[in-house]
Amino acid sequence: MTALEPVMREADGAWVGWAGQPDLELETFDWDGIRIVPIALSVADLENYYEGFSNDTLWPLYHDVIAPPSYHRVWWDSYVSVNQRFANAIVKVSAQGATVWVQDYQLQLVPRMLRQARPDLTIGFFNHIPFPAYGIFSQLPWRSQIIEGLLGADVIGFQRVADAGNFSRAVRRLLGYSTKTPVIDVPARGEAPARSVIARAFPISIDVDAFETLARSPAVQARAEQIRHDLGNPKTIMLGVDRLDYTKGIGHRLKAFGELLEDGRLKVEDITMVQVASPSRERVETYRQLRDEIELTVGRINGDYGTISHQAVSYLHHGFPREEMAALYIAADVMLVTALRDGMNLVAKEYVAARFDDDGVLVLSEFTGASDELRTALLINPHDIDGLKDAIVRAVEMPRSERRKRMRTLRKRVRENDVTHWSETFLRTLAEARRSAGTGAGNSSMDALGELEWTVERSPNARPSG
């Protein structure tokens, strides 16, 4: 959410989002110059719409069915009605000709609902997670409704070029519309005129300056030293930072590390792996099982290879303040990002932004959006455990000169596309799309953003800002 704060302030906009607790009815209020329009969700909405359809249907489906998605009609009904509630609230607060930017997969029906109610609005949508290939997407019983919902937008943004391609293919297969990258031609229907929709990649990023400033602060530097000291000053500290989610490949990285200790290619006296696994979606069964599996594996590795004075894995199942995250990034010689599928992965970009000393090695999964940009990381396929093991050893042994060369290139890339560049590019494309559509939306006087995931995932102590 912090990522979008400057945009909101500049636009004098309103943020439409979940109130953060079930059954909490709040009036619109102003927070630090931003108008907040809270949407109330009941306990049943949270079960069916959020934990159900969003997190147990769409999330696994869009992440290449790493876990099996559940399809329940009551969940879908709830998804439709909550999306309608968001749309109604946005309609109410939006001035004539306003620009609305809808965030993420929990609100895919909102663009069409808005267009039907308010054709004067300029509507953008950004999908923070991947959009799957048609062979997978087509499992969804409500696939056409989702596609139609999204096509209500003027611009649909994705993390990767491949995601935008998957979406366009789904449009062709399901609706037969013609597409010429990045434009999709939506034909006239009833009273609604023919329109063009743009579907393309806008890779999201972080506030690079803010992160680097944090990393440079003396308190964070001192804390990084302290962390190294408290871990017994091992030769190498490896770090993983993830929500405890099955998409992140935490089990794969533990397997590779455990085998390296077993093979004797790494020694517990020389290396410690710190794994921050921040609690996530704990009411969804798949997530409860995942936690058990990961904690069993960590326990086994520590039991098998740890000594009284050296722990193999330091496992932390809680959230930390941003300062602590920055200190961990500075303390880590090797950063492991082994996601099996990830829209972008901001952790990879944060690690790079924090390393103003041009040191540290990023091991990065090819299945993250970030790997499209961060080409000089050590790119890995997390399913290939032998390849992952080799990459870890290579990272541990990499000479300083190569580390510096790679990190410099990574830092240049992250600087070129920071979060301001991301939001400006999206909003400029949106304004141009609307202008060329010739409907003359006029000046945008209000931005309304529907955002649930971030509110839910990032509210308790010290969860990040976006």
According to the binding rule CB under 6 A, does residue 94 interact with ligand GDG?
no
For 309-439, where are the alpha helices, taking DSSP H only? 322-331, 346-354, 370-373, 385-397, 400-416, 419-437
Please identify, using beta-carbon distances, which residue of 243 and 253 lies nearer to ligand GDG: 243
Please identify, using beta-carbon distances, which residue of 162 and 462 lies nearer to ligand GDG: 462
Contacts of 397 (CB under 8 A, 6+ apart): none
Please identify, using beta-carbon distances, which residue of 86 and 320 lies nearer to ligand GDG: 320
SS3 154: coil
- Residue 220 CB, nearest approach to ligand GDG (Å): 13
Nearest CA to 202 among 429, 32, 445? 429
CA–CA dist 91, 115 (Å, integer): 10
- Residue 41 CB, nearest approach to ligand GDG (Å): 20
Residue 114 tokens read as 């808005």
CA–CA dist 252, 47 (Å, integer): 30
Please identify, using beta-carbon distances, which residue of 98 and 107 lies nearer to ligand GDG: 107
287-346 residues near ligand GDG, rule: CB under 6 A: 319-322, 325, 342-346
Q: Are 268 and 305 in contact (CB under 8 A)?
A: yes
Contacts of 2 (CB under 8 A, 6+ apart): 207, 464, 465, 466
SS3 content of the chain, % helix, strand, coil (to 5): 50, 20, 35
According to the binding rule CB under 6 A, does residue 152 interact with ligand GDG?
no
Q: What CA–CA distances, in Å, run from 290 to 210, 250, 317, 370?
A: 33, 10, 13, 24
Residue with tokens 């790079």: 352
Nearest CA to 314 among 368, 365, 238? 238
Catalytic residues: 128, 342
Please identify, using beta-carbon distances, which residue of 123 and 364 lies nearer to ligand GDG: 364
Residue 210: what residue type? Answer: A
Please identify, using beta-carbon distances, which residue of 310 and 317 lies nearer to ligand GDG: 317
Please identify, using beta-carbon distances, which residue of 137 and 202 lies nearer to ligand GDG: 202
268-287 residues near ligand GDG, rule: CB under 6 A: 276, 278
- Residue 404 CB, nearest approach to ligand GDG (Å): 24
According to the binding rule CB under 6 A, does residue 464 interact with ligand GDG?
yes
- Which H or E run contains 12? none
CA–CA dist 52, 45 (Å, integer): 9
Strand partners of residue 196: 185
- Residue 339 CB, nearest approach to ligand GDG (Å): 8
- Residue 313 CB, nearest approach to ligand GDG (Å): 17
**Eight-state DSSP code of residue 338:** -
- Residue 59 CB, nearest approach to ligand GDG (Å): 9
- Residue 89 CB, nearest approach to ligand GDG (Å): 23
Q: What CA–CA distances, in Å, run from 74 to 47, 49, 147?
A: 10, 9, 20
Please identify, using beta-carbon distances, which residue of 90 and 129 lies nearer to ligand GDG: 129
CA–CA dist 364, 239 (Å, integer): 12
Q: Quick one: which of 113, 129, 396, 427 contacts ligand GDG (CB under 6 A)?
A: 129
Q: Quick one: which of 228, 243, 252, 406 contacts ligand GDG (CB under 6 A)?
A: 243
Strand partners of residue 198: 155, 183
According to the binding rule CB under 6 A, does residue 128 interact with ligand GDG?
yes
Q: Quick one: which of 212, 350, 447, 451 contacts ligand GDG (CB under 6 A)?
A: 350
Determine the size of the site formed for ligand GDG (CB under 6 A): 22
Taking residues 188 to 227 in sequence order and writing x for each that binds ligand GDG by CB under 6 A, - otherwise, the string is ----------------x-----------------------
- Residue 23 CB, nearest approach to ligand GDG (Å): 26
Contact set with ligand GDG (CB under 6 A): 128-129, 204, 241, 243, 276, 278, 319-322, 325, 342-347, 350, 462-464
